Amino acid sequence: MSETWIVGINPVEGALANDPERVREVLTEQGSKNARVGEIADAARKLKIPVKPVAREQLEKLGGEVRHQGVIARYDVPPLRGENDLPDLLEAAGANALVLVLDGVTDPHNLGACLRSAAAANVTAVVVPKDRAVGITPTVRRASAGGADLVPVIAATNLARAMRMLKDAGVWITGLDGDTEQSIYGIDLKGPIALVMGSEGDGMRRLTRDTCDFVARIPMPGSMESLNVSVATGIVLFEALRQRGGK
């Protein structure tokens, strides 16, 4: 089991709320006047988690490039799940299964934002390729605003195989690509489905696209040809929720 530092107010709050048994200690800035830092310290003490005031310089050193906002936490990182965990997750979700597949999202801010949208949409699981994506880094955690602790993340050693597992479980797969005339608003997104988003630069890989049941695009009547992957993810997830009656 590896350790990392969770950096910033929202990520630390999320870890304490959703995964407190993995938080080993909380470090706060000495003399901080931020009320939320004080609330975090109080919450940690109630959970019997050690709280240690330290100098700002120590927080900056441990937090690296991520802005610490006066608080960081030492955290035991759980191992990412593998594709063999998918069947149980899908069985538990039943007809409400909603899976997000990210084919090579490498920017940590984008991955974090996708996880935040996935948590808000109550996604069953987020599937990423094990060797072609950013991990759950401190930056990802911060950008996810707690979403990284709420959504099961599946690190698939073979993404096409994981997608075939989804199909075998009765999940219909729709990939998002600008190179098609089919609108996402014309696809039936009710029942057990998976939505596939490509990487920031190249989109879906050919094998990934060929494994999809449908390929659709987000109509853009304006002058832009594409959207940021995290923005597009939010749009398609909540279109699925709209079709499902908001459930």
The domains found in the chain, sorted by start residue, are: 2-77 (3.30.1330.30), 83-243 (3.40.1280.10)
Rounded to an integer, what is the distance from CA 113 to the centroid of its chain? 7
CA torsion angle 169 186 233 161 (round to 10):
30
Tens of pLDDT along the chain (247 residues) come to 578 888 889 889 888 988 899 899 999 999 888 999 999 999 999 999 999 999 999 998 888 877 888 999 998 877 778 888 999 999 999 999 999 999 988 888 899 999 999 999 999 999 999 886 667 777 787 788 778 878 999 999 999 999 999 999 999 999 998 788 899 999 999 999 999 998 877 788 999 999 999 999 999 877 767 788 999 999 999 999 999 986 5
Residues making up the binding site: 198, 218, 227
With beta carbons less than 8 A apart as the criterion, state whether 44 and 17 touch.
no
pLDDT of residue 30: 92
What are φ and ψ of residue 183, in 5° steps? -85, 145
| Count of CB atoms situated within 10 Å of the CB of 120 | 16
pLDDT of residue 134: 63
Using CB atoms within 10 A of its CB, is residue 247 exposed (0-12), middle (13-18) or buried (19+)? exposed
pLDDT of residue 133: 63
Residues making up the binding site for S-adenosyl-L-methionine: 198, 218, 227
pLDDT of residue 247: 59
